[in-house]
Amino acid sequence: MIVTELAIVGAGPAGLSASIEARRARVDVLLIDENARPGGQLFKQIHKFFGSRAHKAGIRGINIGTELLRESEELGIHIWLKGEVCGIENGHNLWVVRDRNRSEIVKAKKIILATGATENAVTFPGWDLPGVMGAGAAQTMINVNRVLPGRKVIMLGSGNVGVIVAYQLMQAGAEVVAVLEAAPVLGGYGVHTAKVSRAGVPFYVSHTIKRAFGTNHVEAVEIVELDNSFKQILGTEQILDADTVCLATGLTPLTELAWLAGCKFNFVPALGGHLPIHDDKMHTTQPDIFIAGDISGIEEASTAMEEGRLAGINAAQELGYISEDEAKIRTDAIWDSLNSLRSGYFGQKRRDSKDLILQNGKR
């Protein structure tokens, strides 16, 4: 059994930021991630971030990740890669499978869960054919593994993930045959949708996929128009030539470990579903468990980093490394920053929803 003061699960922007704050306060930190490389989603994000300059807008996600990794290395943070946390017991013991072939128990005084989110799927006849995948999976293939998932792609979902990944697929050499959106209006920010549209990609609003055809792989896709109640309109079907379908139909927070730990939850659809209730220090209803990032509600890397800092500082305070007064001053400053992020054009809806899972109400 390995003993540590603070174990952090997930080395994305939230987990890295939490570990940097806690380590700066001299806490003994163990950061665990299932991937071969830390950084979470950041290393897929070759585009420049949106939002405000104070929150790294205009900087590419990959560069933000590199900066966080540089800081963690300088602080000598202990990171376990290829470590999947599969269980949690007594609120302190983590069950970790390392390198897929051995298990280890980590006993921690405090735990921060920063596990991020998973992609939602939608089903239709043929959805299980090779060639149908999450947009995030396609983004990992092109931007991390340098593999083109297909030549002719249909993107289902016009939110930011859908349009950003559509653009990156074109940059990687694929043809984006169409972007489909079930709602009558496009979901992504104008800056992203306009770029894809200018590149000649047709957008079909009020449309979805009826079925995908193929023997061993997607060979064609039948699309159909939807009425105001999202019912398919018979007779509007069209067949499009495609070998890949990317699903960009939302994300769901990865909360299994919080469920296992016995945290209390609330249902907040605008933030992705069932979410662990927490306070303004990112403390859950379990005495020694904190959360940070997309697990606390789907937002952005910028908010994930701020939440990670909140969790790291307050875990360090509870472990006796930072005084209550200092932790409060720093917590208040981070909340000013979070509120400015969430009250801007990019975050109002998130802020209103976030109030629903904060135990102490609005900050």
Ligand X SMILES: Cc1cc2nc3c(=O)[nH]c(=O)nc-3n(C[C@H](O)[C@H](O)[C@H](O)COP(=O)(O)OP(=O)(O)OC[C@H]3O[C@@H](n4cnc5c(N)ncnc54)[C@H](O)[C@@H]3O)c2cc1C
Residues in contact with ligand X by the rule CB under 6 A: 9-15, 32-35, 40-41, 45, 49-50, 83-85, 114-117, 136, 139, 160-161, 164-165, 254, 293-294, 299-302, 304
Give the nearer residue to ligand X in terms of CB position, either 160 or 314: 160
Question: Least CB distance from residue 34 to ligand X, whole Å?
Answer: 4
Give the nearer residue to ligand X in terms of CB position, either 126 or 347: 347
Q: Please state the three-class secondary structure of the chain as a single string.
A: CEEEEEEEECCCHHHHHHHHHHHHCCCCEEEECCCCCCCHHHHHCCCECCCCHHHCCCCEHHHHHHHHHHHHHHCCCEEECCEEEEEEECCCEEEEEECCCEEEEEEEEEEEECCCEEECCCCCCCCCCCCEEEHHHHHHHHHCCCCCCCCEEEEECCCHHHHHHHHHHHHCCCEEEEEEECCCCCCCCHHHHHHHHHCCCCEEECEEEEEEECCCCCCEEEEEEECCCCCECCCCCEEEECCEEEECCCEEECCHHHHHCCCCEEEEHHHCEEEECECCCCEECCCCEEECHHHHCCCCHHHHHHHHHHHHHHHHHHCCCCCHHHHHHHHHHHHHHHHHHHHCCCCHHHHHHHHHHECCCCC
Residue 278 is encoded by which pair of tokens? 């927490």
Give the nearer residue to ligand X in terms of CB position, either 70 or 231: 70
Give the nearer residue to ligand X in terms of CB position, either 111 or 161: 161
Question: Least CB distance from residue 228 to ligand X, whole Å?
Answer: 29
Question: Least CB distance from residue 136 to ligand X, whole Å?
Answer: 5
Question: Least CB distance from residue 116 to ligand X, whole Å?
Answer: 2
Give the nearer residue to ligand X in terms of CB position, either 85 or 313: 85
Question: Least CB distance from residue 245 to ligand X, whole Å?
Answer: 17
Give the nearer residue to ligand X in terms of CB position, either 14 or 176: 14
Give the nearer residue to ligand X in terms of CB position, either 131 or 308: 308
Question: Least CB distance from residue 47 to ligand X, whole Å?
Answer: 6
Give the nearer residue to ligand X in terms of CB position, either 93 or 232: 93
Question: Least CB distance from residue 210 to ligand X, whole Å?
Answer: 26
Question: Least CB distance from residue 52 to ligand X, whole Å?
Answer: 11
**CA neighbours closer than 13 Å in the CB half-sphere of residue 122:** 18
Q: Which residues pair with 220 in a beta bridge?
A: 213, 241
